[in-house]
Each structure stands twice: as structure tokens, then as C-alpha cells.
Amino acid sequence: MTHHLKVDIPDYRNRLDDMVQGILGKPIDRFEGPLKVAGRATYAAEARPVGLVYGVLVQAAIPHGKVLEVGGVTGVLAVIHDERMLRRAAQGMAKTGPMAGPDTVDYMGQAVALVVAETFEAARDAALNLELRYSVEAAAVNPEAVEPEFPEKKQSSHGDLDQAVKEAAFSIDNVWHTPAHAASAMEPHAAIAEWNGDSVTIRAGMQMLSSNKLQVADALGIKPAQVRLLAPYVGGGFGSKLGVNAETIAAAIAAKQLGRPVLVALTRQQEFDLAHRRSETRQRIRLACDTDGKLTGIGHEAFVSNLPDEAFSEPVTQATPFTYQAAHRQIVHGVARVHRSCAGSVRAPGEAVGVTVFETAMDELAEAVGIDPVELRLRNIPEAEPVTERPFSSHKLAEALREGAERFGWSRRKAPRERLEGEWFVGMGVAAAVRVNMLIESRARVTLKADGKAIVETDMTDIGTGTYTILCQIAAEMLGLAREDVHVELGDTNFPPASGSGGSFGAASSGTSVYLACEEIRSLIATKMGCTEEELTLQDGMARAGNVAQPISQLLDGPLVAEGHVEPGNTEKTTRQATWGSHWAEVAVNRWTGEVRVRRMMGVFACGRVFNEKTARSQCLGGLTFGIGIALTEAMEHDPRDGHIVSRDLAEYHIPCHADVPHMEVHFIEERDAYVGPTQAKGLGELGICGAGAAVLNAIYNACGVRIRDLPATPDKLI
Ligand code: MOS
């Protein structure tokens, strides 16, 4: 039986709060944690099928053109240059869209050939010696030197912003630059492909198996039914595993040709070249307000880049239309087509850099008006989505700002350069957190076995976020079982297709499908108990209705199986759905060296129901850490001559390390949202990133009086 729900009307029942097992929401540890630290959770590159051989990718040494010939090596099993390897599907979101890309080399460092040998060492040696002959075509690699395209759908204008700025009591008009960012997941991309007749099984690091399966089929020219993907454990994705990458297609082509399983794993350097990047951005922000600090005009012009044929462009202004009220508004979105590595979604695409820059602009405006930056934000929160007038499905920005100010000790903040401790200027900064909320179609199967234990099966992934644990908690709560009695199986396309992990939609989408399957099983149990599902209480393996109580296992003469299937519906169109919060930072800036130390950081977030306080908090700690990276350390540099990535390892691309990350606090505001579905949970994964860097940058200004608009704020810019 399939329990299908299209979220067309608000679901005010909020049944999960009536359940009595008491496991949902609890901060329990991730089940797979011990497996991971003990090396027993096998990642994509770690399987060793019989007859495994090793492939090493060879990368283009030109930014644009064609590969005419490869050769010059002997003693290997295969040298493969196959145009199907050049195709890309960076996003993994378009379920049926074809793999993009002409069969040309489009950037320096792109994977163009695969060398396969009996050992990794032999393959690597041959790959280093492989001779490639190219025809070279002209390449533009500098986005600032290219006339951008302005896709019509991404521009909007209401009222007269120019006039509003002219007539404003106060205004600001500045330009910011953010560099390209790398996802840099801990587990580099890897794939092992193995054919059985006309069907291929691929173990790979992937975030969205159900759409990745369609993309693999499309790239190889076979039917989706001939593809099975396995990704039970994924060592982080941060967007880079949303789509299908070159190693996966290359491994499948080679395995077919050789009739043996083939492993292709990326080196850390290749990870930077071959996984997609976040685009660099140039953002001009204009803000106009009256004498009370009420916004009258908002302008946000964003310029990003991508390869000539890629549909994706960093949605920098995604949250700008609905974060603050203002009658006059203008959004501009320009895309420069350049021969740099593919740009795609990286950790909170859009808001990560858009909200961060916008929230530093708000800090500048607060100073121009002479009011507290918290107060400026509070004065400009809209009642409903501006322009469309759609109501917010839930909205807790004001609460997050007020609660945060109280908890952080905001009233102790001083004027810029007023707090000097030894050789350190110390300051505080605030920023709003905002991220769009999405629900994605998702399915899961739940089986309640005759022994009273349950199994959850779905092709959902756990990319280190805690999916195994939260899906177990939802099923255990709904079925009245101990967590040990619920077994969760993920990461196999033989299971029902799920949302996958991305865009902060994974937990709520896949969690709702498990909820629906369990609701169906509850109905089946209720029938056996002779009561309605509403009258049924399930707890500790017992079913109760009125005065009757029975062990669940005694009610069953065989397994009960149900599938849950959720789809977004009308409520997504009739309401503006987003998550909200506030970021706080206290930093010290060395007056002589310009070194910045973040001393403490805090986030207050509202994301609807929290399935597991610990995994949710961990997501936010990661988000705040990425905020430090965006503000202070992370920058992917491209060579201006040929566009190749210069900072292509973790020594050159600086992810904040332990010494950079101070004491952090995360607080959740209790919230339920009836418009997002029966679990009343919204997305959370990326909210902690959106604006976190702005709190750091605003704190830097408050400390030493320097505005940084060219990110990251490295010491050279502060002295
Ligand atoms: Mo995310 S950048 O949608 O994995």
C-alpha cells in the first residue's frame, strides 16, 4: 500500500507531538558514527570486487578546444578518450534533463581521458606520460572582461529605485566581490563500476541517487533500469556530489570495455578541478531609507560566471525579494560565460554569498542612519512577502534577533575602535539568517516484521548529516518502538526513490515519506485492534486502544509493508516558505598585523520541528564554520592567463581549522509549520551558513573601523 500525500492544504494536526515513544527530537548520537571512526563504514573507493583494476583521469592542458589524439604509453590495459566523459550534470536536480555539454574541452583541468592499469601506480605513471594532441580554440577566462548575459527570468523591478535613492534620507551604494569557493568534501569523489551483462552497478559518492541514476543512464546511452547506484556512506558533499561527475562515467565506460570492475578516484587536487565550484560574485547593493531607518528602496545586482552551456547560475539574490520590506526594488542577475571550471551548487547556493553581502550592506546602512543594526532589521521585516503579498508559512526573524541580542550580550557592544585589549581591537557583529525552504518528492518503504521490528528502506543518502538516525527516530516514534528495533537501509537505487540530500530539503522530504509509510502501518495495526488509527497508541512495542493492550508482535501473522510518498503541492505556491535566524560574532583584530581571531560565535535558528537536537546543532556548527571560511579564509584563485585553478589543495585553499573556530553556541526557537507537511519540519542544513560570514565582517568593522568588501578579509586588507 502506498500512502501518497501532495501537500495541498496546511496540516494543522501535528500528530507527531501526540506520539508517546519519546525518541523524536532527542539528541541521540548518529548510529554510523562508530562505524566511520573504526573504518567499518565503507566509502565509494573502498570496495574490492574480484578483478578490480585502476583508472586515473588525465586532465586537459588547454582551456578550450578539442582533443585530437591520445597515446604514447604502453603496458596499460586501456587508454580511453570517450566524448561521453566530457558531459556534465553538475546539479543532479533536473530529473530528466540531459547531461549538458558539447563534446569539447571547455576549461583547463577538465577530465579528457582515462588510463586503466592493473595497479594504481602503473595507471598513474602512464597518465603522467600520456601524450595529448589538441586543436586549440580561443578562450575567455576572466569574467570581468566578458559582456554578461542577463537571463530574462532572473531580472525584476518594482517602483523606481533610482528615484527612491535620490529622495532617501539615507542611502548606501557599494560593490562587493566574493571569490569562487570549493566544496572540499572530506571524501574525494570516487566510483567503482561493474557490469553484469547490460546492467551496471556503480558505487560512488553521490547526494541524489534517484536523479543521478537517470543522469548516468543518459550519459551512457542506456535505460535507467540498467543502472544501479550504491552510496550507503558518503563523506560529505556540500553540493559537489549533487550531480554525476567525470570519474563515474569514466569508470562505467572503462569497466564495460574491459569486462572488469574499474575504480576511479580523484586526488585532492583533481577534486578542486573536477568537482564544480561556487561562482565568484560581484554584487552592487543600493539601499535607501527614511529618517526612521525604514527602507524605501532595495537594489541587488549580482554578476556570476559559468561555462558557456551550463544552465545553473549562482542564485545570489534568492532571498532578497522577501527578506525586507521596501516599495522600490530592483534585482539584476548577470552571467559571464567563461572557460573556467564548471560552477554549480556549493553549500547554500545563493544565500551563502548573497545574504552575507546583503547583511553587511544592512550594517553599513544602520551606521549611516545612526541606529542599532538589530533595530534596523526589526523595523524592516515585512508582514507578508513583498510584491506578491503571499503570507509567510512561518516567520521567526524578529524572535531570532531579539533572543540572540539577549543571549549574546549585544547591549555591551561599543562604537568602532572603542574596545582595545592589549594590541587587539575587539568588536561585535550581527546578521540575519535566511534561506528558502523546499520540499522535494520522496518515497520510502517501511516494513513491520512479524517479530515486531521495523525496517526502513529508501535510496536517500546520509552525507554525514544524520539521515540514518533521524529516519530511525521518526519510524520508532510513529510505531512505538525502541530505536534498536528500527533498522534503516539507505543509498541503494533498488529502494524507493527519495529526495536525496541537497538544498536543505533532505531531512524534511525523506522524513515525511517515512512518516506517511508509518501512518499507513498504524492504520493496518488499528484495524487489527478494532479501533481507528487516531485511537491507537503505540509505545515500547505495545499497541493500546481504550482498555485493550497487546504486544504489537502478537497482532501480526506476517509482515506489514507500506510505502510513503510525498510531493510538494499548493501550499508551496500559496505561501512564502523560508527558514530564519540570527548570527552573532565577537572578533578581535590585531592592530599591528591585521590578524583576525573570532572569539565567539552564536546562531539562533527556527526551522520548524527539529528531528534530532544533536544532528541539527551539528549542522549549524558546520554552517557557522563555513561562515568563518567565507569571511576570513576561503578563496579559489584562477590564473588570469588560462583560468586554471591555482589554489587546488587544502594547503592553498583555506578551510577554517580548529584553531580558527572558537566557542560556538546554537539555539533553536521552538516552531511548527503546518504548510510544509505533516511533520511540520523545514530545512535546516544550510541556514547556519546564510549570513554567518556577515556577522564576522560586521564585527571586524565594529572592532577596527575597516569595511571589507573584497572577501575574504585577509590580514593584508586590514592594516
Ligand atoms: Mo547542496 S549545495 O544543495 O548540497
- 11 SS3 class: coil
Nearest-atom number in ligand 1 for the CA of 207 is 4
List alpha helices for 380-444, DSSP H: 397-408
Question: Does the Cβ of 404 fall within 6 Å of ligand 1?
Answer: no
Which residue's CA lies nearest to atom 4 of ligand 1?
Answer: 239
- Ligand 1 site-directed mutation target among 206, 345, 435, most atoms within 8 Å of CB: 345
Nearest-atom number in ligand 1 for the CA of 183 is 2
Chain segment 81-123, per-residue pLDDT in tens: 988 887 765 565 544 445 555 678 999 999 999 999 999 999 9
Residues 648 and 564 in one domain: no
Residues 711 and 612 in one domain: yes
Question: Does the Cβ of 506 fall within 6 Å of ligand 1?
Answer: no
686 catalytic residue (yes or no): yes
Residues 450 and 509 in one domain: yes
Last residue in a domain, options 535, 568, 601:
568
Q: What is the pLDDT of residue 308?
A: 87
Ligand 1 centroid – CA 186 distance (Å): 15
Question: Does the Cβ of 101 fall within 6 Å of ligand 1?
Answer: no
Chain segment 424-441, per-residue pLDDT in tens: 999 999 999 999 999 999
Residues 475 and 537 in one domain: yes
CB 458 within 8 A of CB 490: yes
- Rounded Cα gap, residues 617 and 414, in angstroms: 30
Residues 22 and 71 in one domain: no
Ligand 1 centroid – CA 156 distance (Å): 25
Residue 618 DSSP symbol: H
Question: Does the Cβ of 677 fall within 6 Å of ligand 1?
Answer: no
b/e burial code for range 111-140 (CB count within 10 A of at least 16 → b) = bbbbbbbeeeebbebbbeebebebeeeebb
Q: What is the pLDDT of residue 311?
A: 85
Last residue in a domain, options 247, 274, 301:
274
- Rounded Cα gap, residues 51 and 117, in angstroms: 11
Q: Which of 539, 582, 290 is nearest to 433 (CA)?
A: 582
Chain segment 640-669, per-residue pLDDT in tens: 999 999 999 999 999 999 999 999 999 999
Question: Does the Cβ of 346 fall within 6 Å of ligand 1?
Answer: yes
Grid cell for residue 6? 501532495
Catalytic-labelled residue, pool 301, 351, 359, 686: 686
Ligand 1 centroid – CA 16 distance (Å): 28
Ligand 1 centroid – CA 219 distance (Å): 22
Question: Does the Cβ of 278 fall within 6 Å of ligand 1?
Answer: no
Question: Does the Cβ of 239 fall within 6 Å of ligand 1?
Answer: yes
Ligand 1 centroid – CA 503 distance (Å): 5
Q: What is the pLDDT of residue 89?
A: 59
Residues 6+ apart with CB under 8 A from 285: 172, 173, 174, 176, 299, 300, 301, 357, 358, 361
- Rounded Cα gap, residues 704 and 594, in angstroms: 9
CB 35 within 8 A of CB 464: no
Last residue in a domain, options 538, 568, 598:
568
- Rounded Cα gap, residues 267 and 511, in angstroms: 34
482 in a structural domain:
yes
Chain segment 15-56, per-residue pLDDT in tens: 999 999 999 999 999 989 999 889 999 999 999 999 999 999
- 38 SS3 class: coil
Question: Does the Cβ of 347 fall within 6 Å of ligand 1?
Answer: yes
146 in a structural domain:
no
Ligand 1 centroid – CA 346 distance (Å): 6
Residues 6+ apart with CB under 8 A from 86: 101, 102, 103, 104, 105, 106, 110, 111, 112
283 in a structural domain:
no
Ligand 1 centroid – CA 91 distance (Å): 9
Residues 418 and 447 in one domain: no
Q: Which of 610, 606, 643 is nearest to 62 (CA)?
A: 643
Residues 432 and 449 in one domain: no
Question: Does the Cβ of 207 fall within 6 Å of ligand 1?
Answer: yes
Residues 433 and 443 in one domain: no
343 in a structural domain:
no
325 in a structural domain:
no
Nearest-atom number in ligand 1 for the CA of 501 is 4
Question: Does the Cβ of 497 fall within 6 Å of ligand 1?
Answer: no
Nearest-atom number in ligand 1 for the CA of 240 is 4
Q: Which of 406, 407, 405 is nearest to 429 (CA)?
A: 405
Residues 657 and 564 in one domain: no
Question: Does the Cβ of 241 fall within 6 Å of ligand 1?
Answer: no
Residues 401 and 443 in one domain: no
Give me the number of domains the chain comprises: 3
Low pLDDT (below 50) residues in the chain: 94-97
Ligand 1 centroid – CA 59 distance (Å): 25
Nearest-atom number in ligand 1 for the CA of 346 is 2
* CATH number (domain holding residue 411): 3.30.365.10
- Rounded Cα gap, residues 604 and 584, in angstroms: 9
Strand boundaries in 338-423, DSSP class E: 420-421
Residues 107 and 204 in one domain: yes
Domain that holds residue 622: 350-437+577-719
Residues 6+ apart with CB under 8 A from 463: 207, 234, 235, 236, 237, 241, 501
487 in a structural domain:
yes
Residues 29 and 65 in one domain: no
Nearest-atom number in ligand 1 for the CA of 348 is 2
Nearest-atom number in ligand 1 for the CA of 502 is 3
Question: Does the Cβ of 242 fall within 6 Å of ligand 1?
Answer: yes
Chain segment 512-553, per-residue pLDDT in tens: 999 999 999 999 999 999 999 999 999 999 999 999 999 999
Ligand 1 centroid – CA 75 distance (Å): 41
